[in-house]
Homo-oligomer: A and B are copies of this chain.
Amino acid sequence: MSVPHMREASSSSSLQLCRVMRPDDANIMGNVHGGIILKMIEEAGGIVGTRHCNTLNGDRCWVALVRVEKTEFLFPVFIGEVVHVSAEISYTSKHSLEVQVKVVAENILTGMKKLANKAALWYVPCSLQNADKILEVPPIKYADAEQEEEGRKRYEAQKIERQGTKARLEEAIPPPPNPEEAPKERHTVGFSQSSLIHLVGPSDCTIDDYVYGGVTMKLMDEVAGIVAARHCNTNIVTASVDAINFHRKIKKGCVVTVTGRLTFVSNKSMEIEVLVDAASLVDKEKGRYRAVSAFFTFISLDKDNKPLTVPPLKIEGEDEQRRSDEGKARYVQNKAKRLADKERRQ
Chain B residue numbers with a CB within 8 Å of A252 are 207
A28 and B79 within 8 A (CB)? yes
Q: Known contacts A80-B28, A109-B229; is A16 also within 8 Å of B282 by CB?
A: no
B196 and A19 within 8 A (CB)? yes
Q: Known contacts A82-B226, A253-B207; is A60 also within 8 Å of B282 by CB?
A: yes
Out of B16, B24, B54, B203, which one reaches A22, CB within 8 Å?
A: B24
The 0/1 profile, CB within 8 Å of B marked 1, for residues 213-245 of chain A is 000000000100110011001100000000000
B234 and A109 within 8 A (CB)? yes
B179 and A104 within 8 A (CB)? yes
A43-51, A146-154, A160-168, A290-298 - interface stretch: A43-51
B202 and A50 within 8 A (CB)? no
Out of B47, B57, B110, B180, which one reaches A5, CB within 8 Å?
A: B180
Q: Measured between C-beta atoms, what is the minimum distance from A198 to chain B in Å?
A: 8
Assembled-state Cα–Cα distance A18/B226 (Å): 10
**21-74 of chain A: CB within 8 A of chain B:** 22-24, 27-28, 43-44, 46-47, 50-51, 54-55, 57, 60-62
A47 and B255 within 8 A (CB)? yes
Out of B6, B183, B186, which one reaches A180, CB within 8 Å?
A: B6
Using a Cβ–Cβ cut-off of 8 Å, how many residues does chain A contribute to the interface with B? 72
Chain B residue numbers with a CB within 8 Å of A44 are 197
B222 and A180 within 8 A (CB)? no
Out of B3, B47, B234, which one reaches A199, CB within 8 Å?
A: B47
Q: Known contacts A54-B284, A106-B179, A201-B203; is A230 also within 8 Å of B16 by CB?
A: no
B108 and A197 within 8 A (CB)? no
Q: Known contacts A253-B207, A282-B128; is A233 also within 8 Å of B15 by CB?
A: no
**Copies, count:** 3
A178, CB-defined interface residue at 8 Å: yes
B20 and A23 within 8 A (CB)? no
A319, CB-defined interface residue at 8 Å: no
A16 and B176 within 8 A (CB)? yes
A249, CB-defined interface residue at 8 Å: no
Q: Measured between C-beta atoms, what is the minimum distance from A45 to chain B in Å?
A: 11
Assembled-state Cα–Cα distance A176/B85 (Å): 12
Assembled-state Cα–Cα distance A327/B18 (Å): 27
Assembled-state Cα–Cα distance A58/B320 (Å): 43
A102, CB-defined interface residue at 8 Å: yes
20 CB < 8 A contacts A-B: A16-B178, A20-B225, A22-B24, A23-B24, A28-B79, A47-B281, A50-B282, A51-B279, A54-B281, A60-B282, A62-B282, A84-B179, A86-B178, A102-B180, A106-B179, A108-B233, A109-B233, A109-B234, A111-B233, A128-B282
The 7 closest A-B pairs by CB, nearest first: A23-B23, A60-B282, A28-B80, A202-B202, A84-B179, A17-B197, A108-B229
A interface with B by C-beta (< 8 Å):
3-6, 15-20, 22-24, 27-28, 43-44, 46-47, 50-51, 54-55, 57, 60-62, 79-80, 82, 84, 86, 102, 104, 106, 108-111, 113, 128, 176, 178-180, 183, 186, 194-197, 199, 201-203, 205, 207, 222, 225-226, 229-230, 233-234, 252-253, 255, 279, 281-284
